[in-house]
Structure 1
Amino acid sequence: MRAALFVTCVNDAVYPSTGIATVRLLERLGVEVDFPEAQSCCGQPQFNTGYRRETEPLVRRTTQAFEGYEYVVTPSGSCAAMVRRHYPEIGGADAAALASRTYELTEFLVDVVGVTDVGAYFPHVVTYHPSCHGLRMLGLGERPRKLLEAVRGLELRELPGAEECCGFGGTFAVKNSDVSAAMGQDKVRSAVSTGADVLCGADNSCLMHIGGILSREDAPMRALHLAEILASTEEEPWS
């Protein structure tokens, strides 16, 4: 099986470890991974801010970059949702075809590769935050939890108010910074109350917001992308 990695600009610029973990994980499961170098921003920031005209060239570029791949995999629910929900209405038939071949990482693992136990080992206490795009737009449901529950050594604890938004919301965090920060602080209080070592999620945009608050408050918890947990093994432990 061959797939193209849509790493997303946030991961490429700020969280390259997530992209590396995704490749390691997929290759361990027998997936041949390509990285089309022509890929760039999918256009979500522009589109969400109302700049549709500025979004269109990015839709065309992304569509062309991933042309010919049966599967396109991304460790980002928000970018997957952008492609799946909005590309068909912006870019026509070619963009709609890309939308039908684009999978968020946990969808790809569970629905296409057909696994929940990926051979991971992560001896830590973890709580899981489902991001809004993954929860509401993609309908990821229990896929991330099933993958986490199969990780050896991992203790998964329920996050109170898990389905409440963390407050990031892309440009919402810029335009409504006070509200965004308050929502993030609520999420952090709930996460810390679980006693977990790690708060994980499938969107580094949300984890950047939550992780920033955790860091500023010197909380005893780290925000970490789900891919990095699933890529961890006894032979290559996470630290």
Structure 2
Amino acid sequence: MNEQAYVKAVAKNLAASKQRNDEFVRDLESDIADALSAGETWEQIELRMGDPRHVAYEFNDNLSEKERAAGKKRKRTKVIAIVAAVVVVIIAAIAIATWWFLPSQHTAGQQIGVDEQTVIAQAEEAIGYLNADDFAGLESISIEAMADPSAKASIEEARDLISSDWGEFESFGSAYAAEVVQAGQVVEVAEIVAVYENVSVTYTIMFNEDMVLTGLYMK
């Protein structure tokens, strides 16, 4: 990864107050800039500094109880903000649950002429873009709202809420797809388990009748 991605990876795992985190990030950026000016290559700097998660964890280990408490409070505030953003950009989980169990549920793809495996394969493609941090690819199969920067931020924050260290993607687990018709609208819903090195994530992914992604939820 480059310098910007490295600093961002460190910042995502910091657990202090916003002010203290920002100070640490500025110091880290300054240290990198000084090393580059001194003739050290970025590859050498990255090797010397090590895994960005370990840099963040070492910082967190040295925090005072006051800073830890401030960090937890910041996390709670962030969760509230994330939930609000997700409601705007992504169909809310309560809507997914409601739609999922409505009597108008049908075999996946019945109304639009595709089969269950096609819906599941499209959902796996969306997850693949997420695994690769390829948001441009994800946007290419999604409604316009997913191109909004807040959608990307919401997805990244949702990931962090599940775990700060997912590890590498390993395989897909169980998968199921169904079709729901509500108020004349056709929705294809796929629920897929994705297994990573350190966590298993259940994705619920929704498509409209044109198989364009309209909603994404993970837990």
Give the TM-score taking structure 1 as reference length.
0.25
Which structure shows the higher helix fraction? Answer: 2
Q: Which has the larger radius of gyration?
A: 2
